[in-house]
Structure 1
């Protein structure tokens, strides 16, 4: 009797494993960026949005997230990347309503919620900027494994710029990190990978 039970349990386990494998194979996405599924990147996001409200990943459940680290006084990389994201939203057409672009400021000293709001909404009215305390930024950036550093350029307190990574992180509707794209990726690639998660 125990042998029969053991065999039945073994076969049931094999059946479930095979079903999971087949399901996984049939639902694999064809990303143009790097597949970062399972990395749990961004799980500790905890910042303040451009209206002053505290935000975590849970606030954006149900939408595909595109996250970018930058700052409003960035001379070239950030405006170019944000323009690409704005173009991607245009390419998504009606599906753009299912997507939320977040720009996380690496310069919380100068990027107040008001300053950040004006900046991101100049690219697209639906874009949201996130800022916060230096501690909140440090925790959030570490969660994404995103690099940033202050670079002093002169004697004045505001004579500095920010060195930072420029990748696009795409998270699925449940808040799981799925894709990493270069910040200079074409808008078509961003739109394609977002559609894979809709």
Structure 2
């Protein structure tokens, strides 16, 4: 129970930090100057960048692999007791509600625990969620590079039975060119989350 308490508090603390940053720099993600006028894109925070990882099918991938479609990126781990399965369940439901538009979207689940989350373990875990969700793992160094690129907090916490991971609980919304656009916070209202995803899918540029 103590480990679960740390995960909840740590995850919410990370969310609070990210929400504060995003609020400061993402207000007015896209603005419309007026009826019939051209949309103006607002500068976005430097989140995302180069990485090399292995998907749950054992294939080596990079950030370039996922260019061309908007992408949801979520960092977590398969031994997570609450935050990760809840988030992946919510994403699975959102994909269902999007209907055919869901096929225009990519979803990446990147482990923060490569010691236990091999590609085979990721594949087994993801059987419980929407089949379109892609699991990514790699060496510790490779995962650390991805964590740094996405400004993700991840910390190992020792427990009586082994260890758990404290980590950022938000979902990152990246456009088709790999640019950060917004976030879905842990347990955000489903209607608000869907609206953000639809904005991402319909964004120009």
TM-score normalised by L of structure 2 = 0.75
Greater shift, 161-170 or 188-197, is seen at 188-197
Distance in 1 between residues matched to 2:125 and 2:197, nearest whole Å? 23
Which of 1 and 2 has greater Rg? 1
**Separation in 2, partners of 1:63, 1:186:** 24
CA contact (8 A) 1:84 1:186 kept: no
Matched residues in 1 for 2:59 and 2:86: separation?
Answer: 27
Of 39, 42, 50 in structure 1, the residue corresponding to residue 45 of structure 2 is 39
CA contact (8 A) 1:103 1:120 kept: no
Q: 1:3-51: CA deviations, max 9, x gaps?
A: xxxxxxxxxxxxxxxxxx969x73358xxxxx8x532311123211111
Residue in 2 that maps onto 1:79? 85
Q: Matched residue of 1:95: which SS?
A: helix
Structure 1, unmatched stretches of 5+, are: 1-20, 30-34
Distance 1:118 1:99 in 2: 22
Distance in 1, matches of 2:73 and 2:125, equals 15
- Preserved CA contact (<8 Å) 1:41 1:143: yes
- Work out whether 1:187 is the aligned partner of 2:190: yes
- After superposing on structure 2, the runs of 4+ consecutive aligned residues of structure 1 that deviate more than 3 Å are none
In the TM superposition, residue 153 of structure 1 has moved relative to its aligned partner by 0.7
Cα RMSD of the aligned pairs, angstroms, is 2.1
Taking structure 1 as reference, are residues 50 and 117 closer, same or farther at Cα in structure 2, changes over 3 Å only? same
